[in-house]
Structure 1
Amino acid sequence: MAQKATPDPVPSSASSNAASPDAEVLFELRQVLESSEFAGSERGRTLLVYLVENALSGGLERLKERTIGIEIFGRDASYDTGQDAIVRVSANSVRKRLQAYYSRVPAASRVRIVLPAGTYVPEFQRVVEEPVDVPGPAEVPQGPTARPPNAFLSKMRLSFALVVLVLACAVLGYQNWKFRSAVAVSVRPDVLPWSGFAGRADAGIILTDANFTLHKSFSHREMTLAEYSSLDWLYELKAQAPAMLPLSGVPYTSVASAVTASRIAILLDRWGVTSFVRSARNMQVDDFKEDRPMILLGSAPSNPWVELIHDRLNFHVSVDVVRGMQLVLNRSPRQGEQASYVPTAQNQTAGVAYAVVALMPNLANKGPILLIAGTNANATQAAGEFLTDLPLLRSELAGRKILPGRKVQKMELLLRVDCMNSGASRSEVVAHRLTP
């Protein structure tokens, strides 16, 4: 009997007995992200990952225009959605790119990702085989098959949310890696700051906490590390945003943080260093006293554990409350340096941003801490790209007369990042500090 493929909507009550509905969708997401339709749109890929991830994890409360504008495009919590159409324009672009992709490969997928007009909630349409009537022996009619109840998504949506985000964003990181780093990596890390990881069996990568950032946008106040680690702010968040109640316990991170983590994990794996990823919310002070490297992503407002090394930093990302922005302060300016480095780029706007990369011993002087923090999400991601692009890293170090394999106790690099609306186009070291 001949067969033809037609899309069939995948209901929210997808069966747990089926072949992992979420895994099929993530596989399809990867195919879409790798397609020519999305290859030139970083903004489109970022938005699609966010929409799919939240749809899979049950985070429908986040799929609203204002929330997307805040979490993906860096808009202020009070921004005017009537005047600023970035979410609507970007969603329409994603919708058209998906339509173009499936018109080109109509029968290549078991599941299709569709973004209906007028909504930010994607649908996952399963491609089923329908019989085509051809002469043949009569068949005994079969009764309808009952659809199994929802088990998988309702059971796993909270605990699986962060994993889905990291896995989906790892696709973006891996694609960027393939294009940016085709040079073979040595058996052992031989370039700063990675040479500080030599001989280590594993390393931790600490993600930013997106819910904590959202809480501060509601509370309009800064919080100490002690307040953050007590987790009392989670109860405040539930009171401030009741819609967030089902998700407040989920350790969400930003796309930039997840992409950076995936790039670093790939690099460390080539050196035989196993990496594990944790949310900042799940860390304890004692974790920074162990004999293993810890990589902190983001500045203190999104990853409060940066406070542990704040006083030891010459270059540090600080919040300017008056101007409502992050900048880099230089504690001890040298000749030709500025006391402060003020960015002109804010999240998804073009201009100049800055990032700090710092390597230093941990609290017990047993293992290294590596900080990667930018004045905005694009700058943090650009710093991660800079550190994992080994030819560029070596070139920049050599340009400042820093021997790539030199042994140091402490190193700080201040990066200037040229930002475009959807990412960074260029990074360079403008200042540094070394402690032999």
Structure 2
Amino acid sequence: MLTKDLEVRGEPGGGNEADVEPEPAEILKQLERVVGSSLFRNSKRYPSLLRYIVGEFIAGRSDALKERALGIEVFGRDPDYDTNADPVVRISAGEVRKRIAQYYQERGHEDELRIEIPLGSYQPRFFRPFEDRRSTQTQPEARFRDNAAVPPELHDLHPEPTASSVITPTSIAALDPPLKAKIRQPRFLRITRLHLIWIYGLLLCALIPLILFGWQKYQGRQLRPGAAFFWDRLLHSSEPTLIVLGVHSFDAQGNDISYVSHVLLPQTQQTLLSAMTRSDMVQLNDLTSYVRLTTLLTQNAHSFYTQGATDTTLEQLRRGPFVLIGGFNNLWTTNLTKQLRFRFVTLQNGRNCIQDSQRPERIWTLDTQQKALSNTRDYGMVDAFFDQETDQYVLIVAGIGMSGTEAASEFLTNEQGLAAWLQSSKSGAGDNVQIILSTDVIEGKPGQPQIVESFRW
């Protein structure tokens, strides 16, 4: 029987919530229900933290559940790591608390054993939900209905009515003044009530158009099923969305250099002017994609902030959902797609392409050596998946060239096109997907995006 750290709550009336404290087997069974739900099963970090906390409690070591100990044991941090600079435990614990609350709010979990991690502590508490005992309580008016059941010492408190104390209809009629006589209110009170009725009526008439207008605005922001498939998991997050823009850097001769070369370039060789004119430059097409995506976020009242790819850290990506814009100019796009079926790679001949990792001979490439205004075909990719490394939902809008990125952003913000894709693909809520798109570029202008290949898991 668990006694340490276990809180048995009571109802307002003073009774206990449960007659028996939860056994370890019951706690572990409830733990697996929670971590097996859709709120936890796609994550690696949050179930590990919750399992460790509960396991230490059952083992009687709940006093050792401190931030540093959790960072070392659960997240593999060094014993002397700085908890202020690396708040992984606090961020993860906050997300675990939120997901536990969401779990118990779902229908069907009302009667289950409750698991709770109080704010400011990492020691868990377990309790049963309040039981409705009103149906088993004796009604006060029925308690002494049978006078024989009343204890003798209480008979004096509840005497039998006598003939003189019984009020008959005749005696009621004889009362003066009559009991049912209507008492007239003063005139000023009747006037005030009438005025209030008029005021409430005018206010209601004024509020009805505002309510209708707000409802229309609310209805206008509802995304169609296709767009909701990609955007709902991001819009329903309590954290703001981080948008990471791909950037370009140039050497002294004006040649485009990769982010790796840019990072390795000694900073002492750059002046302030050269840093402003040659580093972290954003393409105009990527800004067009950025405007499309942020317009949708703004219309749905979702907050966001923006950073360049070279200035973004892994810890920042772990704080909430994020969107990556750009392919080969965004280091996070190439890093996070390495383990996916379709990925951005550079061939031995130096040409950039999208490659099918399951069938490496299948590639989609763009000839970047042709004339800028010649007619060609570019390829883009839209990825929507739960990333295990960052433990967050991510959207990738990227292309081999700048037209491919623009085509991907157009596809992701076209609600009619997304609805048609969802109907044909039969993807379900929570699925991870990759979609390869093509666009015909005529005199430097991209055309309508066309779906070339897709994959879901």
- Give the TM interval when normalised to the shorter protein: 0.3 to 0.5
Task: Normalising by structure 1, report the TM-score.
Answer: 0.48
- The structure with higher relative contact order (CA 8 Å, sep 6+) is 1
More strand by share: 1
Task: Normalising by structure 2, report the TM-score.
Answer: 0.46
